[in-house]
Amino acid sequence: MSPALTRERDVREAYAAHSGELYGFAVRSLGDAGLAEEAVQETFLRAWRAGDRYDSQIGSLRTWLFAILRNVVIDLGRARDSRPRVGPEQGIEPSVEPLEQALLSWQVEEAMRRIGEDHRKVLLETHFRARPYAEVAEELGVPEGTIKSRVYYGLKALRVALEEMGYED
Amino acid sequence: MRTDEHRDWRLSLGAYALGDLPPDERAAVAAHLEGCPECRAELRELEGVAALLPLADPARIEAPTARPPADLGARIEAQIAAESSREGRAKRRRRFRLWAGGAAAAAAVAAVLLIVLLPGGGESSPAQEVKFASLPKGVSIDATLEPHAFGTEIQMYVKGVKSGTLCRVFLRDDDGRTYSAGSFRYRWGGDSEAELSSALDLSQAAEIGVHAGDRTFTAPVGQATALVSGAEIEPT
């Protein structure tokens, strides 16, 4: 029989392994720490209630939890939107992109955070800030060829990190 | 050496995939790719990742990671424990019905009574399952009593009583004082749940009783036949 999320201990382990990520995505998409907390709580409760339907043969626990969170975020977003706004400048604005894209963006950002510091730094400077390789090489005190190889290994590491998070292209 | 050369080309593939190479170098890599299926396969993978990069926001990458509050896990566990003890009772009810058998089950009527007792101390004694003994043939009554910070919750399962019978539930303390826990009417045709209140802390309850029509049934509390804890779960 495939493991299901039916024991309280399973939920505790799942929380230890995935709550950080789930919360991170909830904050990003809801733009509100309180709502994000609510979303994570609701996600684990729904997971617990439906625990006997989870089948590890079909997909990872992480993917399943994210699928639940996605629905919770939609529900909470709706509830929030139907509430009257107190004022125009209330805290962080939630991300306005569609949820699927928000999830993908968040995954790429999270994968970037997971790769090694050296690789992240080089990708941030050369790609996101569009700085010449030579300039970044000088700043870091390494040969330009090293920057090039860090870009290469950085992308490879990023791919592995994304795959670990269940991304498939 | 061919291998070293190949390795150098390979290391350029990241910059190539991101479109960062100056034109002459780009042309040289392109020429190598023509004759190197290995590098072409590698490039396809890197291009897949490179295409995702524009989705990321560098400010968010570098922002400190948001962490959930330290007590969130404990709050979720507490809520699940509470739900699981309610569910445990529901499952016991279901089991009981199953055990009653097909034909009997068709006639069996479940009346579920939920009594919430008002605060009286909020002892942390475990929940108790009480089975009523010495009942007429065909009648069964059992109850689960659960302490809460605000008082006690009682869930009662009654079967085999005449439909329409008024059931009045009470608790008695050690001194024999009776505390009403409200009433419900027993009906044929499936489960019914009622929530009622009374005023005795579980730790002070010595007896639970039901006046059902002109009969009164009681069972001792505090010498529980089975302990039900919040952590109880069904075997998988």
The per-residue pLDDT for range A52-102, each reduced to its tens digit, is 777 777 778 888 899 899 999 988 877 776 655 544 444 445 555 677 888
- Rounded distance, CA A11 to CA A28, Å? 23
Give the count of domains, chain B: 2
Q: Are residues B21 and B135 in the same domain?
A: no
Residue B70, in any domain of the structure: no
If asked whether residues B88 and B56 sit together in one domain, one would say: no
* Domain annotation covers residue B71: no
What is B161-174 written as a DSSP string? PPTT-EEEEEEEET
Instruction: Compute chain B's Rg from CA coordinates.
Output: 34
Sheet of strand B127-131: strand arrangement: B193-198, B111-117, B151-159, B140-148, B127-131, B226-228
Smallest Cα distance from A49 to chain B, Å: 9
Contact between A55 and A2 under an 8 Å Cβ cutoff? The reply is yes
Residues B43 and B115 in one domain: no
Distance CA B130, CA B139 (A): 15
Rounded-to-integer distance, Cα A36 and Cα A30, Å: 6
Token pair, residue A62, equals 């992480």
Both B17 and B90 in a single domain?
A: no
| CA closest to A48 among chain B residues | B80
Average pLDDT for chain A: 84
Q: Which residues of A touch B58 (CB under 8 A)?
A: 124, 128-129
Walk me through the domains of chain A, giving residue ranges and CATH numbers. Answer: 1-95 (1.10.1740.10), 97-169 (1.10.10.10)
The more confidently predicted of residues A155 and B209 is A155
Q: Are residues B140 and B202 in the same domain?
A: yes
Residues B50 and B86 in one domain: no
pLDDT in tens, A4-25: 676 777 888 889 999 999 999 9
Mutate to test the interface with A, among B18, B55, B71 (most CBs of A within 10 A): B55
Strand partners, B140: B159
Other CB atoms within a 10 A radius of the CB of residue A136 amount to 21
CB contact under 8 A, A8 and B49: no
Per-residue pLDDT tens over the stretch A30-52: 888 899 999 999 999 999 888 77
Q: What is the pTM of this model?
A: 0.56
Backbone angles phi, psi at B231, to 5 degrees: -90, 0
To test the contact with chain B by mutation, choose from A52, A127, A133 the residue with the greatest count of B C-beta atoms within 10 A, namely: A127
Q: Are residues B90 and B37 in the same domain?
A: no
Tell me A168's DSSP state.
Answer: -
In a domain, B69, yes or no: no
Residues B98, B191, single domain; the answer is yes
DSSP 8-state secondary structure symbol assigned to residue B125: P
The distance of B90 to chain A (nearest Cα, Å) reads 14
Q: Is B198 exposed, middle or buried (0-12, 13-18, 19+ CB in 10 A)?
A: buried
How many CA atoms lie less than 13 Å away from B218 in the CB half-sphere? 13
Strand partners, B202: none
Of B62, B96, B111, the position where a domain reaches its end is B62
Q: Which one of B34, B62, B90 terminates a domain?
A: B62
Statement to judge: residues B99 and B58 lie in one domain: no
**Sequence-distant contacts of B16-25: CB under 8 A, at least 24 apart:** B16/B43, B16/B46, B17/A155, B17/B43, B17/B46, B17/B47, B17/B49, B17/B50, B18/A126, B18/A127, B18/A151, B18/A155, B18/B50, B18/B53, B20/A126, B20/A127, B20/A133, B20/A151
- B76 to chain A, any CB pair closer than 8 A? The answer is yes
Q: Is the dihedral of CA B118, B124, B127, B130 positive or negative?
A: negative
- Of A112, A103, A133, A95, nearest in space to B12 by CA: A133
Range of the domain at B38: 2-62
Q: How high is the ipTM of this complex?
A: 0.77
Digitized pLDDT (tens) for each residue of chain B, 236 residues in all: 456 777 888 999 999 999 999 999 999 999 999 999 999 999 999 999 999 999 999 988 988 878 899 899 988 888 888 877 776 666 555 544 444 444 333 333 333 333 333 333 433 456 777 878 878 877 778 788 877 766 677 877 777 777 777 778 888 888 888 877 877 777 665 444 556 566 788 888 888 888 887 788 888 887 543 333 333 334 43
Taking only Cα atoms into account, the Rg of chain A, rounded to an integer number of angstroms, comes to 19
From chain A, pick out residues whose CB is under 8 angstroms from the CB of B14: 148-149, 151-156
Asked whether residue B38 falls in the same domain as residue B148, the answer is no
Structure tokens that stand for B168 in this block: 């009045």
Nearest to B89 by CA among B148, B140, B153: B153
Question: Of A118, A35, A42, whose CA–CA distance to B66 is shortest?
Answer: A35
The pair of three-digit structure tokens given for residue A168, joined into one six-digit string? 């498939």
Residues B215 and B109 in one domain: yes
In a domain, B205, yes or no: yes
Q: Which alpha helices (DSSP H) does chain B contain, by range?
A: 2-17, 23-34, 37-52, 58-62, 72-100, 102-107
Number of H helices, E strands in chain A: 7, 0
CATH number at residue B57: 1.10.10.1320
Contact B73 A104 (CB under 8 A): no
Cα gap B3→B26, rounded to integer Å: 20
Three-state SS string over A57-93 comes to CCCCHHHHHHHHHHHHHHHHHHHHHHCCCCCCCCCCC
- Are both B34 and B105 inside the same structural domain? no
> Cα–Cα distance between B127 and B42 in angstroms, integer?
62
**3-state class (DSSP) for residue A107:** helix
Nearest to B158 by CA among B146, B147, B148, B166: B166
Chain B interface, mutation test: which of A30, A109, A121, most B Cβ atoms within 10 Å?
A109
